[in-house]
Amino acid sequence: MALTIEQQKVYKSGLVYALLSYCCWGVFPLYWKLLLHVPPQQILAHRIVWSMLFLFIILAWRRDRLFIRYLKSPRILGVLLLTAALIGGNWFVYIYAVNNNHIVDASLGYYINPIVNILLGVLFLKERLTRIQIVAVTFAFAGVAYLSYHYGRLPVISLFLAFSFGFYGLLRKKINLQSMPGLVVETVLLSPVALWYLWHMNSVGAGAFGHYSTLADVLLVLGGPVTALPLFWFGIAATRIPLSTLGFIQYLSPTIQLLIGIFVFSEAFDSAYLVSFGLVWTGLAIYTYSVINGLKRRNA
């Protein structure tokens, strides 16, 4: 069925917001590299505090007070405490990876994430894998296994990023909260620890804010908007374009990260990584085909 002119405008605007969010996430390494001299723990703490403040500004502008209801619910607070720990850990490991020359490993983690989501759906949501999805998961598993065998160690950064974000998405899906107010509560829950840590580091003379450069201070403060805006754009996109379209666009982010890691920061990408990524990409291609095929059957 052909879309009306109004529907086409909504779809196109959704595509723009999706591209903005995933491109922004893709170029994150360039931003965090500018703070290479700041310890990852302090970058994370600043990111949490300034994100909370910026998100409050957005919600005030939108006159959205839903987060207050979330704060009053013990059940919701309990789940958001877990998701806050997961997203905080994800942010920290990503910043650590970028500033310790593991951007390629980080990109692999976000390529693996859709496959992890499939596994979590099977384990916790009682979803059933089709044969073609089993093949896709097998290829992705083979990619991780090959890299582990070649280097004699698990790609810990890749797996942590994939599973922490996977469990984060699983819990947020089960509790079914609106994205932005939920993120506000998560940052509120993390902020006391972040503020205490920043105060402690400053009291022992090891604080970064106000002690390095004006540029560093500005970048730390802008870590809030840089974190919140892509999520805000993603939230808009998710309501305007099909989830399957978002699924394709999500590969843009790790692809940009991979290219930045290899061509901007000259990270190693030897034959072992090529084989591993090739297996994961094959798994993702098979999974993508299964999604497209499923949509065609439902629309037939």
pLDDT (0 to 100) of residue 184: 92
pLDDT at 299: 60
**Mean pLDDT, contiguous 10-residue spans, the chain (300 residues):** 70 87 93 92 94 90 89 93 94 94 93 85 81 87 90 91 90 83 92 95 84 88 90 79 72 92 92 92 85 65
**Using CA atoms, how far apart are residues 158 and 130, in angstroms rounded to an integer?**
26
What's the Cα-to-Cα distance from 70 to each of 79, 88, 184, 191, rounded to whole Å? 10, 19, 10, 16
Of 77, 31, 84, the residue nearest 191 (C-alpha): 84
Determine the angle formed by the axes of helices 74-99 and 40-62, rounding to 10 degrees: 130
The pair of three-digit structure tokens given for residue 120, joined into one six-digit string: 């979590």
Question: What is the per-residue pLDDT for 14?
Answer: 84
Give pTM, 2 decimals.
0.88
Phi, psi of 154 (to 5 degrees): -75, 145
Alpha-carbon distance 67 to 80, whole Å? 11
Contact 49, 191 (CB under 8 A): yes
Over the range 221-242, which residues count as b (16 or more CB within 10 Å of their CB) and which as e?
A: bebbbbbbebbbbbebbbebbe
Question: HEC string of 214-263?
Answer: HHHHHHHHHHHHHHHHHHHHHHHHHCCCCHHHHHHHCCHHHHHHHHHHHH
In the block, residue with structure tokens 């990503």? 94
The rounded distance, in Å, linking the Cα atoms of 271 and 242 is 37
Asked if residue 108 lies in contact with residue 158, where contact means CB atoms within 8 angstroms, the answer is yes
DSSP character for 38?
A: S
Give the model's pLDDT for residue 1: 47
Half-sphere exposure at residue 50, Cβ-oriented, CA atoms within 13 angstroms: 20
